[in-house]
Amino acid sequence: MAKFELKLPKMGESVAEATITSWLKEVGDTIEADEAVLEIATDKVDSEVPSEVDGVLIEKFFDVDDIVQVGQTIAVIEIAGSDSGSNEAPKAEPAKVEAKDAPAVAEVAKTVVAAKETAAPIVNSGERFYSPLVKNMAKQEGISQAELDSISGTGKEGRVTKNDMLTYIENKGSQPQIAAAKSEEAPKAAPIKAVESKPTPTPVMASGDDEIIEMTRMGKLIAHHMVESVQTSAHVQSFIEADVTKIWNWRKKVKDEFFKREGENLTFTPIFMEAIAKALRDFPMMNISLQGDTIVKKKHINLGMAAALGNGNLIVPVIKDADQLNLVGMTKKVNDLATRARDNNLKPDDIQGGTYTVTNVGTFGSIMGTPIINQPQVGILALGAIRKVPAVVETPEGDFIGIRYRMFLSHSYDHRVVNGALGGQFVKAVKDYLEAWDSNREI
């Protein structure tokens, strides 16, 4: 029968791997096309991986909590529907083999059994992490868990790399000499690992009254993503205050009629998103990504919209081609993504392809913030709370003090590719679009 390799699908520009959270099918189970086979999770979203064919699951390459790279084969499905003639052929052939070459067949069977025992499933040992590539190499070469644990890793934090595996496999025949070399080199290798250069975290002492809370899987992934972003990008911030009195009064005037007509709540978020999309169109070098020494200028303006979840975690659904939407379309898109984010119903496509991100820190009363860039983007804008404050109002008749609705816009950008002039001009353009709002606008 034909076999189909089930691979981890692409789930976003910045998503390179996923963690298997559960298998919905076991070896021997019948699977229909589009039926979910397993559940996966990234730092962006939880999702299911469906089968593209009808058949039977005959092999799984990973266990729960294993990390899988995008494009890597997860399982093998035997495709149903092959003709019966192909099933009968193998039955006649083994009979000839058993009569003629029985000793050879028995020897091969013993070899297969021994190989299976040697290539037992490889797991992470204590603090030591093995990548899926290393695990697969160990499985293919019949390297046991004990052997793998004994290999000295040259990767980050002592991880075993592909080159370490190739070196070990090449020299496997002369194991005694390798062991001796390792024992001699061990004292020299210790200083090379710049352990002293990294300050050791101060141990946290917990008393009997303290509660120990294990971080969630998504929380750990988000934490790693945030630290990685700070270590990657040279974060710089620019702040500017915008007068949104016209927007406040206009929305108050039209929101009830809008709800009756469209069945949607008109919040401030789609209004702000419209202004930001226009500013990105004016300053396309804010709509870029950095890959090594190469700048990728994005053709589409896809706005990420950070949304807080009920469990305290964060997710960033994406509004595709935001500059092409009118205010009604933007409102419907914002409300749809926000609702599905809260209900944990987002699909992988909903969180991929973002080119610039917006976060509304004002939802929780903050007037400004210093948000962390969502890699591989180069900018993120925080919207502060709208406050009623006394302010100087300039008129043809002179200046006077009035009560105005104002908010801060906090712009974080990557100083490796965005200088202060561009970062400041962009956020100033957003402010100008907001303050120039047409009080008589119809939607």
pLDDT at 164 (0 to 100): 79
pLDDT at 361 (0 to 100): 94
Q: Which class for 340: exposed (0-12), middle (13-18), buried (19 or more C-beta within 10 A)?
A: middle
User: Using CA atoms, how far apart are residues 427 and 278, in angstroms rounded to an integer?
Assistant: 11
For the residues of 292-350, what is the DSSP string, one character each?
A: TTEEEE-SS--EEE-EE-TTS-EE--EETTGGG--HHHHHHHHHHHHHHHHTT---GGG
Q: For 131-140, what is each residue's pLDDT tens digit?
A: 667 777 787 7
The mean per-residue pLDDT over the stretch 176-201 comes to 50
Tokens (6 digits) for 308: 């807080």
In this prediction, residue 46 has a pLDDT band, given cuts at 50, 70 and 90, of: confident
User: Using CA atoms, how far apart are residues 433 and 411, in angstroms rounded to an integer?
Assistant: 16
**DSSP label at 281?**
H
Q: Which residues of 341-361 are buried (b: 16+ CB within 10 A; e: fewer)?
A: beeeebebebbbbbbbbbbbb
Q: For 69-117, what is each residue's pLDDT tens digit?
A: 988 999 999 987 654 444 444 444 444 444 455 555 555 555 555 555 4
**CB count in 10 Å sphere of residue 232:** 14
**Most confident among 10-24, 81-95, 310-324 (mean pLDDT):** 310-324
Coil, helix or strand at residue 278: helix
Q: Could you give the angle at which helices 85-100 and 102-118 cross, rounded to 10 degrees?
A: 110
Q: For 332-354, what is each residue's pLDDT tens digit?
A: 999 999 999 988 888 888 998 99
Tokens 């008393």 belong to which residue? 207
SS3 content of the chain, % helix, strand, coil (to 5): 40, 25, 35
For the residues of 149-197, what is the DSSP string, one character each?
A: HHSPP-SGGG---HHHHHHHHHTGGGHHHHHHHHHHHHHHHHHHS-TTT
- Counting runs of H as helices and runs of E as strands, what totals does the chain give? 11, 19
Q: How high is the mean pLDDT of the chain?
A: 83
The mean per-residue pLDDT over the stretch 266-270 comes to 96
User: Using CA atoms, how far apart are residues 321 and 341, in angstroms rounded to an integer?
Assistant: 19
Pairing of strands 314-315, 318-319: unpaired
Percent of the chain with pLDDT over 70: 78
Coil, helix or strand at residue 358: strand
List beta partners, residue 242: 407
Amino acid at 13: E
State the pTM of this model: 0.62
User: Using CA atoms, how far apart are residues 215 and 41, in angstroms rounded to an integer?
Assistant: 15
Coil, helix or strand at residue 21: strand
